[in-house]
Amino acid sequence: MISLFENIGRYFMLLGKVFSRPEKLRIYNRRIWFEIEALGFNSISLTAIISAFIGAVVALQMAITLESPFIPKYMIGYATREVMILEFSSTVVALILAGKVGSNIASEIGTMRITEQIDALEIMGINSASYLILPKIVATVLFFPLLTLFSIVVGIVGGYAIAYFTGIMIPGDYVEGLFYYFEPFSITYAIVKGAVFAFIITSISAYCGYYAKGNSLEVGRASTRAVVASSITIMIFDLILTQIMRV
Amino acid sequence: MIRADHISKTFEGRTVLNDISVEFDTGKTNLIIGRSGSGKTVLLKSLVGLHDVDSGRIFFDDVCYTDLDFRGRKSIRKDIGMIFQGGALLDSSTVRENVRLPLDLFTEMSESEKRDRVDFCLSRVRLTGADHLYPSELSGGMVKRVAIARAIVLNPRYLFCDEPNSGLDPQTSVVIDNLIHDITKEFNITTIINTHDMNSVMEIGEKIVYIHEGHKWWEGSKDDILLSENPELNDFVFASAMAKRAKSVAR
Ligand SMILES: Nc1ncnc2c1ncn2[C@@H]1O[C@H](COP(=O)(O)OP(=O)(O)OP(=O)(O)O)[C@@H](O)[C@H]1O
Ligand SMILES: [Mg+2]
């Protein structure tokens, strides 16, 4: 328990270092673009594949569950849309990306730590925490909300595809459901969640890597710790955000 | 001049540096020698402030580095070049980007000035045509050269080298040693080199400090070192069978 508090304390101290005044904004701009490509663009295909499948499975599951003459058929499209927007796209995408982006960040920064690259930056007078971590945080906080929206769209298209190809429901009904009782705030909600989760994944993973010590075994452990810690934190914040942003 | 004044450093109750006082001279190649695990790297990192010492003070010329806050240290760090045991080049940057980074962050040079400066440093370490390679594509000797080029790109007043020629063949070692020695003279730098290579000691050692189990055990010049009666130092200096035989023949 003491070590948990110690870690939380060190985590916030690291954040303090990360957000202290950056060296030169121009350099940071370049690095942010680089990270958007490395962490964001490279996650698009994984997000697309998983979102399409989950969208299809959700629609199929709804079609089977709502098999009743008393429930209008458009409910399938409606339910699929709501599930994607409210829960799946932000949370599950964040969890999957914690495994990909989080472990990537932790092992990259961890390797830099044990091969003295971080010491080398410090010796040059560079604020290594800010130089390495800030661009990653900015890149993911900007890009993850977009990725969340993308996931919603792909998931809904996945549901349409399953309706179209299996004939288990009429595509027209599905589309009608998509436009049924739409609350625009739910999109804001998804975007906020995407940004918050991005911050959590990136900062916690960077923290795990930044304080790695020892050898390559430790880098592996750091990246496992990053995935576990960010996943758990995401679940906690999912609960908190759902409560405070209740639509 | 760099001076350590009674510095000690402990890791989890284990004393690694024990009350070390030593002075390193400007314009000279100062060598720290000692067995593996004797505390050379910890001493070097303590001097540059990568480890905080538990007690004692460190001076860079007349400034007490230990008492400075983050900002004060930062201004001194711009005058420090350091070559790490493993090179510590940034993996995700090319040779050119590695050498250029300090210029990007700390100078207002134009693109062409930066290019010239990087070219100059790379040619100074006799490394041309490797600009666009990544560290993983370089040989050990090339990594060391890039590390040297990066360390000197801002014209440092202090140069720290942690085993600059470990893992290199004897010929390349001599080249790297001479390079560091020449740069030291050329720019009047205070250079401190960690090594356990007796060849380096005899080639470029001007002031030599022998560390034994965290204590400063001996200091002197390379001429004194062969005549010293200090038993631990003798064991270290004449560790190889060949050196032992040479010594007995000489006697
Ligand atoms: N960060 C650290 N935490 C705990 N102990 C450390 C740390 N760094 C070094 N030590 C210990 O300090 C001692 C001296 O290590 P150091 O790296 O200075 O040796 P060295 O003289 O540089 O050896 P080599 O020639 O092999 O590089 C070793 O016993 C090492 O275990
Ligand atoms: Mg060492």
The domain that contains B45 carries what CATH number? 3.40.50.300
Q: Which residue of A has its CA nearest to B159?
A: A123
Q: What is the pLDDT of residue B134?
A: 96
Q: Are B103 and B118 a contacting pair, CB within 8 Å?
A: yes
Q: What is the pLDDT of residue A193?
A: 92
| Strand order, beta sheet including B29-33 | B80-83, B158-162, B190-195, B29-33, B207-212, B215-220
For the CA of B42, the nearest ligand:
1
Residue at A1 is within a domain: no
Contact: A117, B89; criterion CB under 8 Å: yes
* Least confident window among A197-201, B51-55, B123-127: B123-127
Q: What is the mean pLDDT of residues B2-26?
A: 94
The Å distance, Cα B208 to ligand 1 centre, comes to 20
* pLDDT at residue B71 in the model: 83
Residue-wise pLDDT tens digits, B219-245: 998 888 888 888 888 888 887 767 777
Q: Is residue A6 part of a domain?
A: no
Instruction: Calculate what percentage of chain B has a pLDDT beyond 70.
Output: 98
Task: Give yes or no for residue B195 CB within 6 A of ligand 1.
Answer: no
Helices of type H across chain A:
2-18, 25-35, 44-65, 75-83, 93-97, 103-114, 117-123, 128-166, 171-178, 185-210, 216-244
Please give chain A's pLDDT, 247 residues, in tens.
Answer: 568 889 999 999 999 999 987 767 778 888 899 999 999 899 999 999 999 999 999 888 888 887 777 878 788 888 888 888 888 888 888 888 899 999 999 999 999 999 999 999 999 888 999 999 999 999 999 999 999 999 999 999 998 898 888 877 788 888 888 888 878 888 898 999 999 999 999 999 999 999 998 888 999 999 999 999 999 999 999 999 988 887 5
Residue pLDDT, tens place only, B129-178 = 899 999 999 998 899 999 999 999 999 999 999 999 887 888 888 888 99
- pLDDT exceeds cutoff 90 at B117: yes
CB atoms within 10 A of CB B38: 23
Is B88–A27 a contact, with Cβ atoms under 8 angstroms apart? no
Domain count of chain A?
Answer: 1
Tokens representing residue B103 in the block: 């210029």
| pLDDT for A1 | 53
Indicate the Cα dihedral angle B33, B36, B39, B43, nearest 10°: 50
Identify the pLDDT of residue A86: 85
pLDDT at B70: 81
- Print the domain residue range for B32: 2-250
Of B77, B86, B91, the CB nearest to A123: B77
Please report whether residue A175 resides in a domain: yes
Task: Please enumerate in sequence order all residues whose Cβ is within 8 A of that of A161, keeping only pairs 6 or more positions apart, or say none.
Answer: A52, A56
Q: Quote the CA–CA distance of B47 and A103 in Å, as a whole number.
A: 34
Of A24, A111, A123, the CB nearest to B82: A123
Atom of ligand 1 nearest to the CA of B11: 4
Q: Is A208 within a domain? A: yes
**pLDDT for position B241:** 67
pLDDT computed for residue B169 by the predictor:
83
- The response to whether residue B37 sits with its C-beta less than 6 Å from ligand 1 reads yes
Chain B: closest CA distance from residue A229 (Å): 26
| pLDDT at residue A247, rounded to an integer | 56
The boundaries of the domain holding residue A209 are 26-244
CB B30 near ligand 1, within 6 Å: no
pLDDT at B24: 95
In this structure, is residue A233 part of a structural domain?
yes
User: Domains in chain B: how many in total?
Assistant: 1
**What is the distance between the alpha carbons of residues B95 and A210, in angstroms, rounded to a whole number?**
24
Q: Examine residue A13 and state whether it is found in any structural domain, yes or no.
A: no
pTM: 0.88
B48–A23 CB contact, under 8 Å: no
A interface test, pick of B52, B82, B162 with most A CB neighbours within 10 Å: B82
Q: Which ligand is nearest to the CA of B15?
A: 1
Instruction: Answer yes or no: is A11 within a domain.
Output: no
